[in-house]
Chain A
């Protein structure tokens, strides 16, 4: 399975209004890696991620997923490989019930009804929300919505999970549940986030983006201990590494 590589080369994106959101980004992510993409607001994280499943096509440079370069011709296949989880689960849960939502993808793949049923049930069990099956999405809590959103993506059996701020708007408990859930997945994971403590838990590698370019790319701990780098990228050292026993969670363990 070594072909599930994400390779971005010299990617540039300018929005129609002239905003240069991404300016020449290159990196390579291997199968099974778990990588955080961090950076200040407006750094270009979301724009970068939108390229990974072909919503935006590279204006300059290239994106390769596995063996395929991302083009109009391959975008359908690439979307089956790359599962995307959005910041606002309300955008992702557009169907009348949880079941319909999770079944949406498998039905589009043209799977037979029994297979759809198996996939839905499997995805709901993996995200621990099987009991919500018949509920309408607007009756769910934020944490439940997030879990269902992840289930909708898992039902597509992607090899790569791309997440944009998955832990935003979650209370501490829901956040903890989410982290445990994600830690249990063996997919290749790319997570854009402001939650550096979560990065410590989930990602061995971190890419720091600042104003559309890569400031640093390396092992998470190295990066989070580089005070100067963090300051330059408008980031702060996670509480847990600041040596405070309460914040670092030492007491609760």
Chain B
């Protein structure tokens, strides 16, 4: 339970962050969605053993994070908790791939280790980028932006309603759960039977609620289509940001900046 409560703390915390007013927040949501997509695609398109070439992307993220006033500690904490399927799978790389790729003094580093760290880096970058998008835009605006970018409206409505009722239903779930916990004295987990009663109960209430919501919608002239009025305007500033952002990302993708700097430095030193 604690876990999920903290997850929902996250929801409201991200929501609160999204209501700030910085230059990043003020950008058109569509611009931010596209920029995030470009960022993610650039990162995942690096070859398997890329590490240093990817680092400038972290720089970009940190920069935007700073501008958007999103606490880096929060993002870092999220990265640590997030379910690491990637890490779990990646950890096999060092075991499977012994091809020596790099020599640091006496230590030879295999391709496996490098690709493993590459996976970790990719993971951190892509996850932070998405968190940053939500923290600087807000879920509702992201959904509406996606509609303008061609997502079916009914799917957006689905997302918005899901998000709206998470809070209500989690409350209800917690109440049902506590009512049971108060009546049972052992702290052990639920048996399958109790669980199914609990969840079944929650499901029945949910179905009733859906019916009442439908009624409330009908009362206000619902005819099967949900209309949301939202005007977004892309300003010159928005376009300027997007153009710059894409240029920088593409440049960073195709020119291995750290490598050049490294070469330059070694040449200077030698």
Contact = CB atoms under 8 A, between A and B. Distances in A.
Q: Do chains A and B touch in the complex (CB under 8 A)?
A: yes
Interface of A: 50, 53, 55, 76, 79-80, 82-84, 86, 88, 90-97, 100, 103-105, 107-109, 113, 116, 136-139, 152-153, 156
Contact of B140 (A83, A86, A94, A97): A97
Interface of B: 12, 15, 140, 143, 160-161, 163-165, 167-168, 209, 212-213, 215-223, 226-229
B164 A96 contact: yes
A152 B215 contact: no
B238 to A, nearest CB: 20
B140 A136 contact: yes
Given A96-B163, A107-B227, A156 B221 contact: yes
17 contacts: A53-B219, A55-B218, A79-B218, A84-B216, A91-B209, A95-B160, A95-B164, A96-B163, A104-B222, A104-B226, A105-B220, A107-B227, A108-B223, A136-B15, A136-B140, A139-B15, A152-B220
Contacts of A116: 229
Contacts of B209: 90-91
B154 to A, nearest CB: 14
A136 B212 contact: no
Contact of B164 (A80, A107, A109, A138): A138
B164 A94 contact: yes
A108 B212 contact: no
A104 B229 CA distance: 9
Contacts of B218: 55, 79
A104 B168 contact: no
A151 B218 CA distance: 16
Contact of A100 (B168, B212, B222, B228): B228
A79 B219 contact: yes
Nearest to A120: B229
A104 B220 contact: yes
B46 to A, nearest CB: 36
List of 4 A-B pairs having minimum Cβ-Cβ separation, nearest first: A108-B221, A105-B220, A138-B167, A107-B227
A55 B212 CA distance: 10
A218 B213 CA distance: 33
Contacts of B219: 53, 55, 79, 82-84, 153
Contacts of B12: 139
Given A95-B160, A103-B229, A107-B227, A55 B221 contact: no
A91 B167 CA distance: 13
B194 to A, nearest CB: 26
A229 to B, nearest CB: 32
B141 to A, nearest CB: 9
B228 A90 contact: no
- Looking at B212, B215, B219, the one whose CB has the most chain A CB atoms below 10 A away is B219
Contacts of A95: 160, 164, 228
A108 B227 contact: yes
Contacts of A86: 212, 215-216
Given A136-B164, A156-B220, 11 more contacts: A79-B220, A79-B221, A82-B219, A91-B212, A91-B215, A96-B228, A97-B140, A104-B217, A104-B226, A107-B229, A137-B164
Nearest to B217: A94
Contacts of B161: 94
A45 to B, nearest CB: 15
A17 B219 CA distance: 25
B215 to A, nearest CB: 5
B104 to A, nearest CB: 51
B221 to A, nearest CB: 3
A80 B168 contact: no
B223 to A, nearest CB: 6
A91 B140 contact: no
A107 B228 CA distance: 8
A55 B164 contact: no
Contacts of A90: 168, 209
Contacts of B164: 93-96, 136-138
A97 B15 CA distance: 12
B229 A92 contact: no
Contact of A108 (B140, B165, B215, B222): B222
A40 B218 CA distance: 28
A212 B53 CA distance: 76
A109 B221 contact: yes
B216 A91 contact: yes
Contacts of A138: 164, 167-168
A97 B168 CA distance: 15
A246 B257 CA distance: 79
